Amino acid sequence: MTSPASVGEARRRLPREFIDSLDATFPQGLAEKILRGMGARRATTLRVNTLRCDAATVMDFFREHAVKHQRVPWYHDAFVLTEATERDAAAWDLYADGRIYLQSLSSMIPSLALAPQPGETVLDIAAAPGSKTTHMAALMENEGRILANELNAVRAERLSYNVRLQGCRIVEVTVGRGEKIGESMPESFDRVLLDVPCSGEGRFIVFEPGTSRAWSTRAVADSVRLQRKLLASGARALKPGGVLVYATCTLNREENELMVDWAVANLPLEPCAIPLSLPGVFAGMARGLDPRVARAIRVFPDAQREGFFICRMTKT
């Protein structure tokens, strides 16, 4: 088991410009909390695929195999494994036949915030590898339609594999540019999930250099340009009165609050409260911005969760 990294070690190991940005964005105490979270050994977490299984069956398996676990109080189909690793879980039949899905707890929130209903038509605009696509199909009880789009053909194959393994009959996988969907399918969807490509700061782990190696200020700027195009496309694809969830796994304001502020000023989108009771989350940092940006939520990294930003919006 890897020992937690100290704040000082996090400051030494993570990119210098990222540390400077973190200190400029957050109060000192919160910046140090974030760095401690990045230095923690993150627990393995999973979601029960309710299309193939139920939580009681998974708990019976845990008892039979002496798997130490905790149930997630805000989502009873999610579990934290207190000792088992992802490699351990991947060896179980539960995993091999699609009864469980290894997924971070933070990554489960966007689908829950979108709350797709059976019979609806849903767009997942940047869907691979399919954690949220398959989650939404389960929430919809395999009734309705999900269009799951992915730009990269290789990643789309992985998406298709996961969709099949999880038994998601209502999912259609497409390969193409998400920026074009709004133009080709205007006002076609009841709900849109926009879990955008981002700079990934919320996933940094101090003792895994690969998690932060690709980060740069240029990567942040490139992400912002793409995110604006995807947001505009998603808003256009959404029916009037429909719901869009914008989510990232990063921490900076440019890709998060400033993006929502831009959307409010330029698109027919209205931020609204997220209908979930989630412990340990923070409101969006709206200082100097439209006050409705504060309706978004932030999850900061810790021993159980990645850093995430989620904003639920309706089309006016």
SS3 197: coil
Say whether 249 is catalytic. Answer: yes
b/e for 303-314, b at 16 or more Cβ within 10 A? ebbbbbbbbbbe
Q: Look at the block and give the residue holding tokens 């895994």.
A: 208
Q: Which of 316, 311, 305 is nearest to 45 (CA)?
A: 305
Do the Cβ atoms of 146 and 168 come closer than 8 Å? yes
Cα dihedral 80, 85, 86, 92, rounded to 10, equals -90
Q: Which of 95, 94, 72 is nearest to 82 (CA)?
A: 72
Q: Residue 292, Cα to own-chain centre: how many angstroms?
A: 21
State the helix-helix crossing angle for 28-38 and 16-25, rounded to 10 degrees.
140
Do the Cβ atoms of 239 and 267 come closer than 8 Å? no
Do the Cβ atoms of 308 and 247 come closer than 8 Å? yes
Do the Cβ atoms of 182 and 232 come closer than 8 Å? yes
Residue 313 φ then ψ, to 5°: -135, 150
Strand ordering across the sheet containing 100-102: 69-71, 78-81, 44-48, 100-102
Choose, from 168, 198, 249, 311, the residue flagged as catalytic. Answer: 249
What tokens does 314 get? 């309706």
Distance between terminal CA atoms of the chain?
50
* Active-site residue set: 249
